């Protein structure tokens, strides 16, 4: 399945646009793809190294929270609480990436790096969707 490129919105940062997920993609896929394509590149830059390493750890926490939700009975009284914790943590992480990490990445990555990262992002997403 080919991943179609979406039109680039003018109001979005170049990096946010390059990493934008299409609706309906699994969250675990998004965190893995961002780690493999964006954060692995940003960790090589002094200005974004710490933030990128933190984001990767947060992606691991999100994946663990997802696993905990998948394996927990939905009719259990604690399931809504577990989901609320997952939702709050994930929303905080996304906001941090949107407000802090993506803008920093836009400043430190050159045009060629961003273009290459966008190509890797699309190819990685396609490979991961093929095995779902």
Tens digits of per-residue pLDDT, 59-94? 889 888 988 888 889 899 999 999 999 889 988 998
b/e per residue, 39-62, with b = 16+ CB within 10 A?
A: bebbbebeebeebbeebbebbeeb
In a domain? residue 38: yes
In a domain? residue 6: no
Domain count, the chain: 1
User: Over pLDDT 90: what percentage of the chain?
Assistant: 25
The residue to which tokens 């934008």 are assigned: 20
In a domain? residue 119: yes
Residue 33's pLDDT is what? Answer: 79
3-class state of residue 69 by DSSP: helix
Residue 132's pLDDT is what? Answer: 64
């Amino acid at each position: 399945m080919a991943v179609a490129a979406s039109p680039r919105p003018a109001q979005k940062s170049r990096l946010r646009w390059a990493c934008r997920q299409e609706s309906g993609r699994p969250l675990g896929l998004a965190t893995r793809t961002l780690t493999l394509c964006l954060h692995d590149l940003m960790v090589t830059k002094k200005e974004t190294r710490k933030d990128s390493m933190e984001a990767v750890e947060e992606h691991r926490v999100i994946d663990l929270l997802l696993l905990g939700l998948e394996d927990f009975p939905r009719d259990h009284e604690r399931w809504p609480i577990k989901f609320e914790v997952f939702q709050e943590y994930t929303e905080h992480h996304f906001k941090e990436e949107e407000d802090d990490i993506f803008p920093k990445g836009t400043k430190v990555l050159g045009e060629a790096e961003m273009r290459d990262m966008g190509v890797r992002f699309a190819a990685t997403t396609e490979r991961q969707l093929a095995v779902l």
